[in-house]
Amino acid sequence: MMPLVVSGFFYAASDSQRLAGKVAVITGGASGIGKATATEFIKNGAKVIIADIQDDLGHSVAAELGPDAAYTRCDVADEAQVAAAVGLAVKRHGHLDVFHNNAGIAGRLPGRRSPPPKISSKSTARDAQFQSINTLSNAELTIIGSGGPYDAENNAARSQRSSGLLHQFSTAANSQRLAGKVAVITGAASGIGKASAKEFIGNGAKVILADVQDDLGRAVAAELGPGATYTRCDVTDEAQVAAAVDLAVARHGALDVFYSNAGVLGSIAPAPLASLDLAEFDRVMAVNARAAVAAAKHAARAMVPRRSGCVLFTGSVSGVVGGTGPTSYGVSKAAVLGVVRAVAGELARHGVRANAVSPCGVATPLSMVQVLEAYPGMSFEELKNAMAASMEQMEAGPLIDPEDVARAAVFLASDEAKYINGHNLVVDGGFTVGKLLKIPKE
């Protein structure tokens, strides 16, 4: 798809309105990241209040962006003005869904002896960076923070470079965010893997479904259509991982994404650490951690020569917060996050990214079967409902669906995330910021 040039920005023609019906306030919205974000929000269907202290520029930007943009003066150091910006959004549009707290200043720069620069009406951004924000569909309000500079008079020259950079960014804000990409997804016959394969194909990718569930894998490939191909792949066997990569290259000519998703919980029967079965530990580590390294190794073999690609991993909140799962599982998922950092650090210079998606409480068929072993008196639906009720009691929103994780994976695999590397995207409804999941033992 050829991009359309609009007011110096490159846009992909959009047939999707990911923020349709949303109302946002963006501070520092008259230039730099704030302006770029307001532009993206409006293009994706949002109404935006541009809150800034640069009145002439702010009014000009609002006029440029059209009827869905409105400017209001807002010095973020004055709480009353922040409150007024929120009040304006609610008064004008009936509600507020997103508050992007973007305004900021650099303060005293390292090595400077002169006083910090004054806030000026000639605002610039340090380096304009593209942001495409997916709001939480179940949240009443999403607050997005930014630590970037807001404005400094002596940064004016930098703004010229920044505005020049903006033409390099394009958004894939349509239904083909992965058009032309080729992916291998392990554990793709069910759960998060299947949901991801479906999302990838729906966004234009060709996908190799790699799994050990042959009948189910072939059925899923048939269900997903000609963009899907099944291959048997035991991720604990490096040769089979290599073969999945080779199949992608042989069939489609390249490999753009390797999503290392296959994993096991291991035994979840309550047991003290002193009686940990190290043979079971080794099995879990082989599937969850060692296989992640094998995935990165063979993905790199295909991606580094092309200086392009993305390696994704399914992590877990158990790798972020201790005590939220079986010991072996938690250790293995913490190791996955180590793999992400190591791979990102080495492969960034070769144009290859590595990121993880860490979900919480996803009721996939395989994981639920294992959980039921610890709760033999409960049915699948009873346990799923109990988990969902517990999440609701924590005000964390409904139980996370595989599709929620899959959409995060699509974003990280897309060119929209081309500057995101070495990151762990937690998809947990806020669980890791202090909420505890309580599942009845009976």
> What pairs with residue 23 in β-bridges?
47
Strands (E), 216-333: 228-232, 257-260, 309-314
d(CA 85, CA 93): 12
Give the length of the chain: 442
Query: Is residue 199 within a helix (H) or strand (E), and if so which, with residue range?
Result: helix 191-202
Q: How far is residue 299's CA from residue 296's CA, in Å, rounded to a whole number?
A: 5
d(CA 325, CA 11): 44
φ/ψ (deg, to 5) at 322: -70, 155
Q: Which of 265, 276, 268, 266 is nearest to 375 (CA)?
A: 268
Cite the active site residues. 329
Burial class (CB in 10 A: 0-12, 13-18, 19+), 171: buried
CB burial readout 362-397, b (16+ within 10 A) else e: bbbebbbebbbebbeebeeeebbebbbebbeebebb
* Residue 215 CB partners (closer than 8 Å, separation 6+): none
To the nearest 10°, the Cα dihedral for 84, 86, 87, 88? 90
Q: Report CA-CA distances (Å) from 20 to 16, 24, 47, 171.
A: 9, 11, 9, 16
Contact present, 128 and 36 (Cβ < 8 Å): yes
Give the residues across from 228 on adjacent strands.
207
What is the identity of the amino acid at 169? F
